[in-house]
Amino acid sequence: MAKTYKVEGMTCGGCASSVEQAIKTAAAQASVDVQLEGGLVTVDGVDDDDLIRQAVEDAGFTYAGTA
Amino acid sequence: MAKTYKVEGMTCGGCASSVEQAIKTAAAQASVDVQLEGGLVTVDGVDDDDLIRQAVEDAGFTYAGTA
């Protein structure tokens, strides 16, 4: 089931791509959709909030919990 | 000794921060300086091009070799 997370610090398409790639690197099976304007990242195929948090933070963005 | 790499895909300050953070996550001792306009990333304290390449690519940007 898909989960949506709040991610702060994404200001352009490059940032959005970065978060998407970072999550896919951490979890190859993940399906990731980024809504840049709302700062929302929806992830399907992963049920591990900590893994998402770590990937987001390692990529230089701020994980702000589930939306 | 510092080395400078070409990195493609950085289009805003968020991208620059992302690349910097990704490299520092991969190598905590690294000193990283990003020149956004020129697409240049200067790294001091690391002598492992592959580690830099991997960090840049995992963060969703394109590693284009040493500058």
For the structural domain made of A3-66, what CATH number should be given? 3.30.70.100
Q: Which residue of A has its CA nearest to B17?
A: A60
Instruction: Tell whether A61 lies on the interface with B, counting CB pairs under 8 A.
Output: yes
Instruction: Tell whether A11 lies on the interface with B, counting CB pairs under 8 A.
Output: yes
Q: Do A12 and B15 touch (CB under 8 A)?
A: yes
Percent of chain A's residues with pLDDT above 90: 99
For every residue of B1-67, DSSP letters joined together read --EEEEEE---SHHHHHHHHHHHHHH-TT-EEEEETTTTEEEEES---HHHHHHHHHHTT-EEEEE-
User: Where along chain A do its domains lie?
Assistant: 3-66
Of the candidates B15, B25, B57, which has its C-beta nearest A14's C-beta?
B15
For B21-66, how does the pLDDT look when each residue is reduced to its tens digit (9 = 90+)? 999 999 999 999 999 999 999 999 999 999 999 999 999 999 999 9
Predicted pLDDT of residue B16 = 97
Q: Do A59 and B59 touch (CB under 8 A)?
A: yes
Predicted pLDDT of residue B65 = 97
Predicted pLDDT of residue B1 = 83
Predicted pLDDT of residue A1 = 83
Q: Which residue type does A61 have? A: F
